[in-house]
Structure 1
Amino acid sequence: MKIESCNFMAYRDAYKSIEWTIEQRKQKSLVSRWRKLLVNLNMRHWMLSALFIICFLFLNDAHAQIRCEDLFKEIPRPATATITEKVAKNSFITDRTLWDYTHDLHPDFTKALERMTPESHWIDMGAGKAKALIEFMKSRDSEARPYTTAVAFKIDRWFGMPNFEGKLQTHEGIFEHQPTHQWRKADVITDVMGVFSYTTDLGTTLQKNFDLLKVNGELYISTSAYGSQFRVNGETLSLEVFLASIPGLKVEGKWGTIKITKEQENIKIPVLELERYKDESPPIRLFKVHLD
């Protein structure tokens, strides 16, 4: 019995020794893996640091700026009727009220609404939930309501859209693809961080809007002051300055809060080539202007 007991204890001790050895090897392997991962991360850190040093120390200032910008430069997107990922997900503000519009747009917008008759037409670009339009229509008696149109990639409403006896229309989808020649001519068009701010095909958007607008009609835009820039013969222009250069348009306001009055028929928007695009909220865009 003593011999069997000793043998059992010897086997038990040997098993524990083997188990301990295996566990030690596992721990060493785990430590080795972590050490290797840290070394790799450290090497990547030093490589990235070396890359910046080369850019900023060994090249002259102008040359370094060009080279380093190329490393992080957004790939230019073609100036076609496309939409950004942000627009596709509808992940931006969609519930601006009429009060927001009167404060975000040019001060003359309030007067424009007061002048509207039952035969007038207000088109809102990038209407979201169409909250501003609906509030405006509710503020008028039924016989005094003008025609209104809500334009959005997707009307962001969980419940039905009121039509106010057919005087509120909705158009969903990419604006550049819309058959706008069939729409009623507009007295007022508004855009608060909407289509004008996000489109990659601004030339088509502008042309369609001025084709829709009546003579003496008014386009009100609220957008980022630096979101849209235009390169003309080597000179970079803001949205306000670019629009003011187009015959037949009167531009008032600044810093992205502008009012454009259409003073003649057949406004001609030059071809705009999208050169740079950074998808932010709203995106940063640079257009090259091709003059005839």
Structure 2
Amino acid sequence: MTAVRISGLCALALLVSQAVFAPATHAASAGAALSQEELTKQRRIYQSRGSETPSGYVIDRALALYADALAADFDRSLAALGPAERWLDIGAGEGNAVLEYCTTRAEAPNAKLEASGERARVVAISIEDRRTPRWHETASALGAGQIEYLYGKTLREYSAQELGHFKLITDVMGGFSYSTEISSFMEKALSLLEVDGSFFTVLADVHSESGGNRPHYPDSAYLTEIRAADGAEVKVCAWLKRISCVQVTCGFKSDWTPPIEAYQIRKTCDDVRVPALVPLRYQAGTPPERAFRLRDPASPPSDAPVAETASR
């Protein structure tokens, strides 16, 4: 399944976080085991090159696409960053958005950014090294510490000491859209966010906060679904709003194909607690189709390892 922008822009979607998988097994309490076959298919998508790369696998998205896809406050938050502050871009691909932010005022998504002066320091994360000659040339010209590109590990494999903390975090159809463990992914991302900082992310084809949309693909589920222990639906926006110490805004964008819901998650204090989710289904795709269930608070987490999808 491939998302295509109605305006003709190359799909934000399906931009992809690259992934590394551990063996996927679950205790009975975790529901049906994730399909090893589907995880293998997904890994092949991440490792594809050249003509074998699915059309939805995009690694060269521009900063203007970030501004179009993410919540309305993204461009203001980016423009407001000072030179001593930091931005983490999860699933950065070639890092074009980072390069444009640091160097090309003419391509700034709006006048606020164009006039904002000195740039913040930026860390781009990818599971594979997607840097281009342009990245290396720009990094050298900007000097040490202005932009950094980390690769080869999943987000959860980095320690807080390695990454530090950030005023702004973005994930444009990266790890949040592809991970088999979105509650753990969210927990890690928010641990890296400074108080009063914001995490901007997006999901394609989910049941929106207002509830007015149906699944985009005929005879299919939403691409990301959450159920309570009794089987009742829990919308992604509602689940995010159950996280402690955050303020969440959700915005549905019907002019994307499939439609997307953009999230701004502002951290208000350090005692962040993310409601744990058990993965139930994972069907390979760009992005994959996933289902989760809220873990019963009385049930201990499974000791069995679960396949983990990394941020690209």
**TM-score, structure 1 length as denominator?**
0.68
**Unaligned stretches of 5+ residues in structure 2:** 1-31, 106-113, 207-222, 253-260, 298-312
Residue in structure 2 matched with residue 278 of structure 1 by the alignment? 283
Does residue 1:84 correspond to 2:43, yes or no? yes
Residue in structure 1 matched with residue 219 of structure 2 by the alignment? none
Does residue 1:186 correspond to 2:159, yes or no? no
Residue in structure 2 matched with residue 208 of structure 1 by the alignment? 188
Residue in structure 2 matched with residue 222 of structure 1 by the alignment? 202
How far apart are residue 291 of structure 1 and its match? 4.4
Tell me which moved more, 110-119 or 249-258.
Answer: 249-258
Q: Report the CA distance shift for 1:272/1:89 in structure 2 as closer, same or farther (over 3 A).
A: farther
How far apart are residue 77 of structure 1 and its match? 4.3
Task: Select the residue among 56, 59, 64 that pairs with 1:94.
Answer: 59
Residue in structure 2 matched with residue 57 of structure 1 by the alignment? none
Structure number with higher helix proportion: 1
Separation (CA, whole Å) in 2 of partners of 1:77 and 1:179: 29
Q: CA RMSD in A?
A: 2.5
Task: Select the residue among 160, 163, 176 that pairs with 1:196.
Answer: 176
Separation (CA, whole Å) in 1 of partners of 2:83 and 2:67: 21
Separation (CA, whole Å) in 2 of partners of 1:188 and 1:142: 16
Alpha carbons 1:251, 1:259 under 8 Å: kept: yes
Task: Select the residue among 269, 274, 290 that pairs with 2:274.
Answer: 269
Alpha carbons 2:197, 2:267 under 8 Å: kept: yes
Which one-letter code corresponds to 1:96 in the other structure? R
Separation (CA, whole Å) in 2 of partners of 1:130 and 1:158: 9
Which one-letter code corresponds to 1:232 in the other structure? A
Residues 230-249 of structure 1 correspond to what in structure 2 (within 5 A)?
230-233=226-229, 234-249=231-246
**Unaligned stretches of 5+ residues in structure 1:** 1-73
Residues 50-89 of structure 1 correspond to what in structure 2 (within 5 A)?
76-77=34-35, 84-89=43-48
Separation (CA, whole Å) in 2 of partners of 1:180 and 1:77: 32
Identity %: 24
How far apart are residue 230 of structure 1 and its match? 1.5
Residues 2-151 of structure 1 correspond to what in structure 2 (within 5 A)?
76-77=34-35, 84-89=43-48, 91=53, 92-138=57-103, 139=105, 144-151=118-125
Alpha carbons 1:117, 1:145 under 8 Å: kept: yes
Which one-letter code corresponds to 2:184 in the other structure? T
Separation (CA, whole Å) in 1 of partners of 2:161 and 2:241: 25
How far apart are residue 145 of structure 1 and its match? 1.9
Does residue 1:172 correspond to 2:172, yes or no? no
Bigger relative contact order, structure 1 or 2 (CA pairs below 8 A, ≥6 apart) = 2
Which one-letter code corresponds to 1:248 in the other structure? C
Tell me which moved more, 139-148 or 264-273.
Answer: 139-148
Task: Select the residue among 152, 175, 197 that pairs with 2:126.
Answer: 152
Helix, strand or coil for the counterpart of 1:134?
helix
Residue in structure 1 matched with residue 3 of structure 2 by the alignment? none
Separation (CA, whole Å) in 2 of partners of 1:247 and 1:182: 25
Separation (CA, whole Å) in 1 of partners of 2:191 and 2:155: 14
Separation (CA, whole Å) in 2 of partners of 1:187 and 1:99: 20
How far apart are residue 177 of structure 1 and its match? 2.0
How far apart are residue 183 of structure 1 and its match? 1.4
Alpha carbons 1:130, 1:155 under 8 Å: kept: no
Moved over 6 A (4+): 140-143
Count residues with an aligned counterpart.
217
Larger radius of gyration: 1
Separation (CA, whole Å) in 1 of partners of 2:44 and 2:35: 13
Alpha carbons 1:273, 1:289 under 8 Å: kept: yes
